[in-house]
Chains A and B, each alone.
Chain A
Amino acid sequence: GAVVSQHPSWVICKSGTSVKIECRSLDFQATTMFWYRQFPKQSLMLMATSNEGSKATYEQGVEKDKFLINHASLTLSTLTVTSAHPEDSSFYICSAAAEKLFFGSGTQLSVL
Chain B
Amino acid sequence: GQNIDQPTEMTATEGAIVQINCTYQTSGFNGLFWYQQHAGEAPTFLSYNVLDGLEEKGRFSSFLSRSKGYSYLLLKELQMKDSASYLCAVRPGGYQKVTFGTGTKLQVIP
* Chain A residues at the B interface, C-beta cutoff of 8 Å: 1, 6, 31-32, 34, 36, 42-46, 49, 91, 93, 95, 97-106, 108
A-B contact count (CB 8 A): 51
* Chain B residues at the A interface, C-beta cutoff of 8 Å: 33, 35, 40-45, 48, 85, 87, 89, 91, 95, 97-103
Least Cβ–Cβ distance between A7 and chain B, in angstroms: 12
Instruction: Check B97–A100 contact: CB distance below 8 A.
Output: no
Known A-B contacts A34-B97, A108-B40; A42 and B102 likewise in contact (beta carbons under 8 Å): yes
Residue of A nearest to B101 (CB): A43
- Please list 21 pairs of residues, one from A and one from B, whose beta carbons are closer than 8 Å in the complex, sorted by A's number: A6-B42, A32-B95, A34-B97, A34-B98, A36-B100, A43-B100, A44-B100, A45-B100, A46-B99, A49-B97, A91-B40, A93-B43, A97-B95, A98-B95, A101-B45, A101-B91, A102-B45, A103-B42, A104-B42, A106-B41, A108-B40
